[in-house]
Structure 1
Amino acid sequence: MPRYLLFYAHELIEFRLSELFSLAEMFGFRESMTIERKPDQDPFLLCTFSNIDHLKLYSSRSVLLKSAYEYWTHGSSLIDVVDKLTVHSNWRPNLNETWRILVHGFRKQFTQPEKIQRIDTFSDRLNIRNKFCLNNKADFTVGLFENYEEGRLEQPKEVFVGRWVCDGARHLVDKYDVRKRYFIGNTTMDATLSFVMANMAQCQSNHITLDPFCGTGGILLACAEFGSYVIGSEFDLRVLTAKAKPTKANTKQLTRNPDEMMHRNFSDYGTLNHFLGVIGSDFAYPAWRPTFFFDSIVCDPPYGIRESSQRKSRRHQTDKIDDDQNSISEKYDLTNIYVDLLNFANVYLCIGGRLVFWLPTHIMTYDENLLPTHPCFKLFSNDEQQLNRTVSRRLLTLIKIRESNNNEKAQVNEKLFSNFRDLYFTPNTTIWEQLHSNNTITDSSDVSKKKKHHDE
């Protein structure tokens, strides 16, 4: 089968294969593709596709992929690569075609003279006399990639060469840049991550996607761009009614504009016809009919760090009938949030539907065996984004494989979130010392208790 070189943006390295496999399953070619070279902290992946149209379908959706190339060869140096190409006349432009060559270095920045030197070496040794084109309108584009080891920039580790086929969907990252939006908030999801979530959820035309913690709707914007009908729910009515404080940098406004709400962003991006609406709702007490099903649920639940996690209490301050005036807010701890999320997805997701959500974890105390589970779901992917030296978050993708029997419930181990807020502000060195002091501390709750005692 034809081999292709995929050139990625150097970010979210763990997410590349998950996004690739998710889109391959959605477009129906997962079984016919193979991975020959996985990236090792570099942006190059070598794989096979049985049909070039499969590659183009994937590229049209991937926001992590910069560009894709028909793989020619690779070697230890430019001369080595060119010598291998001399025996293949079909790897050269036709006489009437214009051509150009793109030179990229990983871990090394080339100056313009260095790029020209490599272009001259390539064209001279292959005796290419075609007209050279300086813009992206060339008939024939070659990609030359040099991969260097960190700290060893004298000689490349390996050199790849191939013919350009297509670009990825990186333009969407710039188009949906949070700084360009009319309506944003403190926790509006980054554009790249939003589109990765939409790809993991396999959002597509005629699907319905829910974000039960939608906030300003950043994730739903990405889902709508890919054709899904989207709907959200949010606990904080101030966000939904333009009553929250402005969060844009350098703004002098003390209040939001009357139209500074979610629908304005969808209107600006031309996807208002895919926006079904948003409701003010407490996720702990779902407002949806149990006969209504979603194709996917995507969300970033509140961790209680930058935004508080709350729900309405069912405790009554008076003897009157429970309503919004009598109910009060109470803390919604992380364990209950994720138990409710998985149980909610079990009721409202269709078979084969996907639940895609972020899970906060403390790096030093993370244990994969503590991940949330449900008998009706299987884990598709688990990818980590490190936020700082202490904390990371993981994007989990679960697929509903069957309906529930005998009222099966989610399992979330409390140790996963024990005193997460306290650990968030605890230095790693302190945790390391406490985890190894006399072998008496067994989990994150013990670390937090010892920290509190020390602070007192």
Structure 2
Amino acid sequence: MWFLCVFYHRLLDFRKPEVEALAELFGEDESLQWRLPEHHHNDTPFHFVHLSSEEIAQNIAKRSILVKGMYELWGEGTCYEELKDSIESFPDSRKLPFLASDSTFRISVETFGKALTFDEQRERINSLTYIPFDVNLKNPDHNFFIMEMDESEENNGLQPILQRRIFFGREVGFADRKLLPAFSSSLALTLARLLWMLKWLS
């Protein structure tokens, strides 16, 4: 199964080794693969990773200090018209279990390298009216995310990509954000190095 793995923008050289070490810890076989989204570079926060199960993706996200979240990608595009076509072409067999009448949802907007106003975020969420969501902001059954990164030269420290890219996906695993402030940069670096060493010594 392919997942969209979204990283924090730090310790760039250790992001993949940490995921690979955790995948091995949770029993991943040889199916782990990486690929980049179209028009992205290696330093991008977005990477596709192939894992054998959603459970492994969840466990990696929970234990990682460099992964922000793992997502089942429902669609992507360079604009919201392309995103709509991509979502509508995503197999109904994969969507329908999460669109049941008794299921509730929350849709969040995350941008990388830029900030959006509340009205801009609401406009993007309202563009998804073709998906029959029953929204519940406080206690949803499922969390969905619109994630956007463009080619702007002013990307707040992120290297610009060649072309704007928008992703929409279902969250399958996320970092325990309450624990993240407890990790200093030096501790994170030490853990990443240890995970990398364990992988290559095993």
The number of residue pairs the alignment matches comes to 188
Give the secondary structure class of the aligned counterpart of 2:5.
Answer: strand
Task: Kindly report which structure 2 residues correspond to 1:134-153, keeping only aligned pairs within 5 A, or say none.
Answer: 134-135=137-138, 137-151=139-153
Task: Please name the residue that 2:179 is paired with.
Answer: 172
Q: Is the 8 A contact 2:74 2:86 kept in 1?
A: no
Which protein is bigger by CA-based radius of gyration? 1
Q: Is the 8 A contact 1:65 1:170 kept in 2?
A: no
Task: Please name the residue that 1:157 is paired with.
Answer: 164
Q: Is the 8 A contact 2:75 2:168 kept in 1?
A: yes
- Rounded Cα–Cα distance in structure 2 between residues aligned with 1:199 and 1:23: 11
Task: Please name the residue that 1:8 is paired with.
Answer: 7
Task: Please name the residue that 1:244 is paired with.
Answer: none
Task: Please name the residue that 2:62 is paired with.
Answer: 60
- Rounded Cα–Cα distance in structure 2 between residues aligned with 1:170 and 1:195: 14
Task: Please name the residue that 1:20 is paired with.
Answer: 19
Q: 2:115 aligns with which of 90, 106, 109?
A: 109
- Rounded Cα–Cα distance in structure 2 between residues aligned with 1:105 and 1:132: 21
How far apart are 1:172 and its partner, in Å? 2.4
User: Would the alpha carbon gap of residues 95 and 60 (structure 1) be closer, same or farther in structure 2, given more than 3 Å must change?
Assistant: same
Deviations 1:350-383 (A, max 9, x none): xxx85xxxxxxxxxxxxxxxxxxxxxxxx94xxx
- Rounded Cα–Cα distance in structure 2 between residues aligned with 1:193 and 1:26: 23
Give the secondary structure class of the aligned counterpart of 2:116.
Answer: coil
Deviations 1:257-276 (A, max 9, x none): xxxxxxxxxxxxxxxxxxxx
How far apart are 1:16 and its partner, in Å? 0.5
User: Would the alpha carbon gap of residues 41 and 201 (structure 1) be closer, same or farther in structure 2, given more than 3 Å must change?
Assistant: closer
Deviations 1:367-417 (A, max 9, x none): xxxxxxxxxxxx94xxxxxxxxxxxxxxxxxx3x7xxxxxxxxxxxxxxxx
Task: Please name the residue that 1:97 is paired with.
Answer: 103
- Rounded Cα–Cα distance in structure 2 between residues aligned with 1:193 and 1:167: 22
TM-score when normalising by structure 2: 0.80
Q: Is the 8 A contact 1:70 1:162 kept in 2?
A: yes
Q: 1:81 aligns with which of 80, 83, 88?
A: 83
C-alpha RMSD of matched pairs (Å): 2.7
Q: Give the letter for the 1:74 counterpart.
A: E
Question: Larger helix proportion, structure 1 or 2?
Answer: 2
Give the secondary structure class of the aligned counterpart of 1:68.
Answer: strand
Give the secondary structure class of the aligned counterpart of 2:23.
Answer: helix
How far apart are 1:140 and its partner, in Å? 2.1
Q: Give the letter for the 1:133 counterpart.
A: N
- Rounded Cα–Cα distance in structure 1 between residues aligned with 2:65 and 2:13: 14
How far apart are 1:199 and its partner, in Å? 5.2
TM-score when normalising by structure 1: 0.38
Q: Is the 8 A contact 2:144 2:169 kept in 1?
A: yes
How far apart are 1:42 and its partner, in Å? 2.1
Task: Please name the residue that 1:443 is paired with.
Answer: none
Q: Give the letter for the 1:91 counterpart.
A: K
User: Would the alpha carbon gap of residues 83 and 8 (structure 1) be closer, same or farther in structure 2, given more than 3 Å must change?
Assistant: same
User: Would the alpha carbon gap of residues 196 and 120 (structure 1) be closer, same or farther in structure 2, given more than 3 Å must change?
Assistant: same
What percentage of aligned pairs have identical amino acids? 24
Give the secondary structure class of the aligned counterpart of 2:11.
Answer: coil
- Rounded Cα–Cα distance in structure 2 between residues aligned with 1:195 and 1:27: 20
Task: Please name the residue that 2:51 is paired with.
Answer: 49
Q: Is the 8 A contact 1:142 1:163 kept in 2?
A: yes
Give the secondary structure class of the aligned counterpart of 2:115.
Answer: coil
- Rounded Cα–Cα distance in structure 2 between residues aligned with 1:101 and 1:57: 22
How far apart are 1:156 and its partner, in Å? 6.0
- Rounded Cα–Cα distance in structure 1 between residues aligned with 2:127 and 2:163: 16
Q: Is the 8 A contact 2:4 2:46 kept in 1?
A: yes
How far apart are 1:195 and its partner, in Å? 4.0
- Rounded Cα–Cα distance in structure 2 between residues aligned with 1:52 and 1:148: 28
Higher relative contact order (CA 8 A, sep 6+): 2
Q: Give the letter for the 1:85 counterpart.
A: I
**Stretch moving more, 158-167 or 17-26:** 17-26
- Rounded Cα–Cα distance in structure 1 between residues aligned with 2:36 and 2:163: 18
- Rounded Cα–Cα distance in structure 2 between residues aligned with 1:111 and 1:19: 34
Task: Please name the residue that 1:118 is paired with.
Answer: 124
User: Would the alpha carbon gap of residues 61 and 173 (structure 1) be closer, same or farther in structure 2, given more than 3 Å must change?
Assistant: same
User: Would the alpha carbon gap of residues 200 and 61 (structure 1) be closer, same or farther in structure 2, given more than 3 Å must change?
Assistant: farther
How far apart are 1:116 and its partner, in Å? 0.3
Q: Give the letter for the 1:165 counterpart.
A: V
Unmatched 5+ residue regions in structure 2?
Answer: 156-161
Give the secondary structure class of the aligned counterpart of 1:86.
Answer: helix
